[in-house]
Amino acid sequence: MCAATFTVDGGFDEAIESLQIKIAAVDSKGKTVAQDTLEFSDPVGGSSVGRYGQALFESAEACDDTLKIAIQGATGVVGGKRQRVVIEAREFKPFRITIGK
């Protein structure tokens, strides 16, 4: 089992509560191999303290280093109402981490 951490930068004025992002994990052949909803328990945005939120995608499929993640939609509670949230994604480029030299 592997996990991927997703971080949301909520650099906007009003906090988004109960943020949910629906994702699909797509293999190198274009087949959807897993689906999940990332749930952010703490409000995101609205202040410098809550600017960032994190959620995990955990599955055996997450171990595939050719996997692509497709964001299928996002909703959150803003001003007391659940509504669609616009998400922008930046490509993540992992780098090798070593211990010592």
- pLDDT of the chain, 101 residues: tens digit per residue: 899 888 888 776 788 999 999 999 999 999 999 999 999 988 888 776 667 888 999 999 888 888 999 999 999 998 899 999 888 877 777 778 889 87
What is the residue-wise DSSP string for 47-60?
SSTTSEEEEEEEEG
Q: Residue 62 phi/psi, 5° resolution?
A: -65, -10
CB 22, CB 73: distance < 8 Å: yes
Mapped onto helix, strand or coil, the DSSP state of residue 63 is: helix
The boundaries of the domain holding residue 28 are: 2-84
In a domain, 15, yes or no: yes
Could you tell me the CATH number of the domain that includes residue 42? 2.60.40
Retrieve residue 94's tokens: 């992992």
In a domain, 98, yes or no: no
Domain count for the chain: 1
pLDDT of residue 49: 64
In a domain, 39, yes or no: yes
In a domain, 65, yes or no: yes
